[in-house]
Amino acid sequence: MLSRGPNPNSGDSRAATWLRRLLAAVQANKLLPGIGYKLKHSTLGTTLEINPGKGGVGGTSTGAQMCLITELFEEDYFGVKLFNGVTTSGDQFNIAKSVPSRMATGQTIEGTTFSYTYDDDNHRTSNDGSTDEAQVMRPQFVVQNLVFAIAADHTYVTVDETELLFIELNTEREWCKKYL
């Protein structure tokens, strides 16, 4: 590493000046740890590890990623694979559900406290302290359905103690009273 080399801050020689400029140029182009990847340093060099489902998805696009749902977990996230409109590609990775469709244990709405119990990703029971109401997710989460995912600074959904950094880009999902 550069910190083990000569100290370019000592001396006013042409060599010390050149070393200071070289060090500044190298540090200006240094890849810093970031979202969705890790830098691993060893005596053999430095490697970049991309973490699918924890930030990086293997594409170069910074916009929304078209995906197919591949697995439901009965949690605040689900598994997807990238989709090009014809076939899926790459490994499965997890994305967080949009906030309205997450599996909260309860909330207060206009002064009334509701508690929720879940049967699966698409069915729950809401209770206001006196009445149970069967509710269903609309549109439902279904394996092989198309979704779009987008990178987010935070989703507040963790898997194996790592925050997911992609979130479903669907604000139309909501819990509704089940009539049938």
* pLDDT, tens digit (0-9, with 9 covering 90-100), for 20-57: 887 777 776 666 555 566 666 677 776 766 665 544 44
How many residues does this entry show for the chain?
A: 180
Contact of 113 with 129, CB cutoff 8 Å:
yes
Beta bridge partners of residue 62, listed in sequence order? none
- The verdict on 99 and 165 lying in the same domain is yes
Per the domain annotation, does 165 fall within a domain?
A: yes
pLDDT on residue 108: 94
Beta bridge partners of residue 129, listed in sequence order? none
132 φ/ψ sector (left φ>0, alpha ψ -120 to 50, else beta)? beta
pLDDT on residue 34: 55
Which residue did the predictor score with more confidence, 46 or 99? 99
Per the domain annotation, does 58 fall within a domain?
A: no
- The verdict on 158 and 88 lying in the same domain is yes
- The verdict on 28 and 97 lying in the same domain is no
Contact of 155 with 148, CB cutoff 8 Å:
no
CB atoms within 10 A of CB 152: 18
Average pLDDT, the chain: 83
Number of domains in the chain: 2
Question: Is residue 139 reached through a cis peptide bond, with omega within 30 degrees of 0 on the bond before it?
Answer: yes
CB atoms within 10 A of CB 131: 7
- Model pLDDT for residues 146-160, shown as the tens digit of each residue: 999 998 889 999 999
Identify the domain containing residue 115 by its residue range.
Answer: 65-177
Instruction: Give the mean model confidence (pLDDT) for residues 81-98.
Output: 92
Which residue did the predictor score with more confidence, 90 or 37? 90
* Main-chain dihedrals φ then ψ at residue 147, nearest 5 degrees: -140, 160
Per the domain annotation, does 166 fall within a domain?
A: yes
Contact of 4 with 23, CB cutoff 8 Å:
no
pLDDT on residue 48: 67
pLDDT on residue 59: 43
**What percentage of residues in the chain have a pLDDT greater than 70?**
75
Contact of 176 with 143, CB cutoff 8 Å:
no
Choose the final residue of a domain: 10, 25, 50.
50
pLDDT on residue 137: 94
Per the domain annotation, does 6 fall within a domain?
A: yes
Q: Are strands 146-151 and 166-168 parallel, antiparallel or unpaired?
A: antiparallel
